[in-house]
Structure 1
Amino acid sequence: MSESPQPYRVLARKYRPQSFGELIGQDAMVRTLGNAIRRGRLAHAFLLTGVRGVGKTSTARIMAKALNCVGPDGQGGPTIDPCGVCEYCTSIMEGRNVDVIEMDAASHTGVDDMRSIIDISRNTGFGARFQVFIIDEVHMLSKNAFNALLKTLEEPPENTKFLLATTEVNKVPVTVLSRCQRFDLRRISAEQLAAHFAEVVQKEGVTVEPEALALIARAAEGSARDGLSILDQAIAHGAEGVTAEQVRGMLGLSDRGAVRRLLALLLAGDAQGALAAVKEQHNLGVEPSAIVRGLLESVHGITRAKVGGGDDPAQSAEEREAYAEWASRLGHAALHRLWQLLLKGLNEVNSAAMPMEAAEMALLRIVHASDMPDPGTLMEKLMSGEAVPARASASAAAPPPEPQTAMLALPATFEALVRALQGNGKALLAQQLHDYAGVVRYAPPALEIRPAKPLPGDFQRDLTAALKSVTGAQWTVAISDAPSEPTLLEQEKMAAEANRQKILDHPIVSAAREVFPGAELIDYPGKERRSA
């Protein structure tokens, strides 16, 4: 009688790291843990934070093995390199060790669940060196559950360790954070993920184009688990092998050649051609947001080519050649303006009830702005008395003031929101938003930001209250680590630098600098002023 075939295991489970050596991109954490184990300076509680799929739970299980491993001969002690063959290593790996208890806080949020853990921790273990409690998504615990855990977390029974994992560390009470040794697991770089996926497909005996692996690594956004899931789907999608074209179609990414053609139409000011190209992509199943993201990637690629950035493995030779040609013709100011217009358009597409129409309007705005002079050029023309076309002068006019009746119209932009706070006695909050908050999503009355530096613990609460006070609307304020726009301060610095570079690139200035090599640009329009 033939043996029944083994059930298929998805790649994310099959290639889950079983040792610290198999963890990707977490060298600093592994080094710190290794030193702590060798010196016998192990904390009683650890908090592992990071984005989804970066290896928090896997790290906790490996730590449980490292603490309890006895080696092949049964005489070993805690080690950074667990043997993987002793009874404790194998039982922990298979999830059947009674001294290593895993709990998902998302489904066990109550105080009774914490009391059961406390009761178990007070009992003597069943033989392992350390009794280990792994609590995943710990931020989901209720307030009472956290309070029940606090005392035990601070003074746990001897030989008891707590390993807490969370994707939202800002929701964990400070009283818990202060009792844990914290490790922030880093996002895994696209290059490391692509190399890891190449090893996986080699072991699986599957042919995958390097460009396809680079696209999957980029789509994973730093998550090994997400990337392996996408790779699994791509392998199932391709019959003879996986190509970059198949991955683009599977992920709904816009064809790079089509994106370059669309960008050329936008820069040429061809509104009808641009709308036709967008419609063609949409008919092929490409989402409007994917079209705008593709344009953003192209502008980013051109800018990197202009400043001499390294090659992106996800770019083809034709793409790099096109970017280099564009970089030679477009100035820094034009590229920064394109980036800001597209970024604003992407936010509008993501929050609009009609995404396709929002994408078309955003691209038409770019077409309209393609032949507009930048503010520096416009100022030079005005100061020299040169005639300015009505269209250009209209675009340079100051935006209309924000409506005073908040309930009728909320601030249309994030900048307007900061000005409203500044003008209503909320200067500190306005400054914090201006200097340290990058906008992830602005859809009044919803605001999602990514802090450029740690903000006060009560910032989210105070900002929500201030926004309600100033606008009269109930706002939802979210703090995340998702990709964001540059902060307003960073945008101002970029604009000032672009203006400075434009002046330096002027033929007269360039000639003067060649004659006087030591000359410096002391003052120029838009330069930041600092009080003495």
Structure 2
Amino acid sequence: YSLFKNLMSGKSKESLDIFNELYSSGADPGVIIQDLLDVVHWLTRVHVTPEVVNEPGVSEIDKNMGMELAKELNTAELSKTWQILLKGYQEVQNHDMPNVIAEMVLIRLIYASDLPTAEELVKDLLKKNHDSKIDNDESKEEKGSDSDNTIKEQYHKTEKVPSKGINTDTVIEMKNVDNLLKDPNSKVQENNIKIEKKDENIVLSSFKDVANFFLKKKEILLFNHLFSHVRLVHFQKGKIELNPTEDLPKDFGSKIGTMLSEWTNQRWIVSFSKTKGEISLEEQNERDKKETVKKMMQNKRVKEILKVFPEATIEAIKEEGDKDE
């Protein structure tokens, strides 16, 4: 019990002195570890069922030390000690220098006694999370108060501005500030009110207009699909029916419809059909190019040039004012 008490108290020098004294007197290191395991087992029984100390055959020292140490140690500490000693006992049995291994096991146990138990770690973690949540809530309240004050200042400033010369954007901003003051649940980010505007004056009167609008919005991949990989079956405002010529992404139709609806503030539905429909926009472009080249070949000046350069061909046709690439 003396060795065990010193180990549990974290007294390394006293513990190792007792162990070396026992070892020098002929005690087997494995037996010493085994005796410590018996002590832990006894204390655990006393801790769980205190009446066990009154059973017949229990010595007076086991009874007194059992009751004393069981009060000082909880079940978690006893369980941790049991695991360290049990693993150490197996190491001692399988090593050529059992005394060295036994010393290392005892040192491990001494320093483990200063470590918090799993229960203490959980409690500490929960406490930190709780404190952190309180700090965050207080921080949010302070930020919310600062935001309200800023909004009120902006509102009072806008009230002092004379009505003459106020543009539409300023009026919209003042109305939004007023709405925010009336609604305490409104959130203000970075003390700025951002107003999103839909694209105005959008006229999509043909499928080609739709494809070009995606190009304008820099949705290059979707434009490429619209331009080269689908044929138009039916088009009307708010509804497009297509015949795919190649495999398209599964969400292609819904994505096109959603984007058009957001950009135009009008619902658009895109569906697919097995009907062949018109040729693709790319094919139309090639056809129109060939027809234009054919007409150009009939031009008087072009004919004169071709007489001088008979092997010349028309590679591209540009509108007046187009920049060279």
Instruction: Give the number of the structure whose alpha-carbon radius of gyration is greater.
Output: 2
* TM exceeding 0.5: no
Task: Give the number of the structure whose residues are more often helix, by fraction.
Answer: 2
So what's the TM-score if we normalise by structure 1? 0.21
TM-score by length of 2: 0.33
